[in-house]
Amino acid sequence: MWRPTRYGEEDFAAFREAMEASSVEAAVIHAVYLINCASKDTELRRKSLASLTQALRIGDGIGAAGVVLHPGAQKGEPLGPSMKRAAKTIAAALKDSEGCPLLLEQTAGHKGLLGRDFDQTAELIELAGSGARLGLCLDSCHLFVQGYDITDEAHLGDVLDEADAKVGLERLRCVHVNDAAAPLGSCRDRHANVGKGEMGRRGLAAFLSEPRFEGLPATLETPGPEKKGPDEKEVATAKGLRREGLKRRGG
């Protein structure tokens, strides 16, 4: 849906108050899926910019840890100009908002979707001006289907070394915790419930206990038991797997 919700200062204050009174420590916004910052279509790009800017302003209002964005889709257009258009839209949205971080989510490696590997994400950040508000969001399912076998602690460590060398881990501001319903290297973005997919309990335990993720907001984007999203029980499962992983790492 493109139609933005009009929030006012009172709504923001109420949100911040409710969050302070709750056990939730961080809120992360996901930008609307219709957005395509790379689109060649001027009208679609204009709508994308307006929607992204609005999300960042809401992020400013509620003190969000960031707005997560899928950087864009080529839709058959050449890579170079698509990257430039995406970066320009992103830079414009940052300019028109205060300080909320914009977190580029690494995609599942599907050809034609920008941000399909660390090189592309790094290039996008550079093209968009390399500002401190530009950050990274890593999704366990996306990394796995991209071909990184992150179900193993040592291999996950190598992947983060690569992310650090190319993007810089100081930009990593949140993680998405999903099991994969598609195989390693399949480049298919299909999420499974935590511990129930190709990564399994062992793999998610490794991901959730990664020391360099310590303190970061983590979001479940799984189908959940009723296909209505994750429930409390699945959050508890994820927390349990994190404890298992920490134990295995000798922590």
**Closest CB to Zn ion among 123 and 139?**
139
Q: Which residue has the tokens 């366990």?
A: 140
Report the interface residues with Zn ion, using CB under 5 A: 139, 176
Give the shortest CB-145-to-Zn ion separation in angstroms. 11
**Closest CB to Zn ion among 115 and 245?**
115
Give the shortest CB-203-to-Zn ion separation in angstroms. 16
**Closest CB to Zn ion among 30 and 202?**
30
Give the shortest CB-107-to-Zn ion separation in angstroms. 9
**Closest CB to Zn ion among 23 and 33?**
33
Give the shortest CB-70-to-Zn ion separation in angstroms. 8
Strands 191-192 and 179-180: antiparallel
Is residue 220 within 8 Å of 168, Cβ to Cβ? no
Give CA torsion, residues 87, 98, 139, 207, to 10 deg. Answer: 140
Q: CB count, 10 Å around CB of 40?
A: 15
Edge-first strand listing for the sheet containing 102-105 = 28-30, 66-69, 102-105, 134-139, 172-177, 218-220
Give the shortest CB-174-to-Zn ion separation in angstroms. 9
**DSSP sequence for 138-150:** EEHHHHHHHT--T
| 3-class SS of residue 247 | helix
Give the shortest CB-137-to-Zn ion separation in angstroms. 7
CA distance 57 to 60: 5
Give the shortest CB-16-to-Zn ion separation in angstroms. 25
Q: CB count, 10 Å around CB of 250?
A: 5
Taking CA atoms, 113 is separated from 39, 83, 120, in Å, by 11, 10, 10
| 16: its two tokens | 């911040």
**Closest CB to Zn ion among 61 and 180?**
180
CA distance 39 to 46: 9
**Closest CB to Zn ion among 61 and 135?**
135
**Closest CB to Zn ion among 180 and 241?**
180
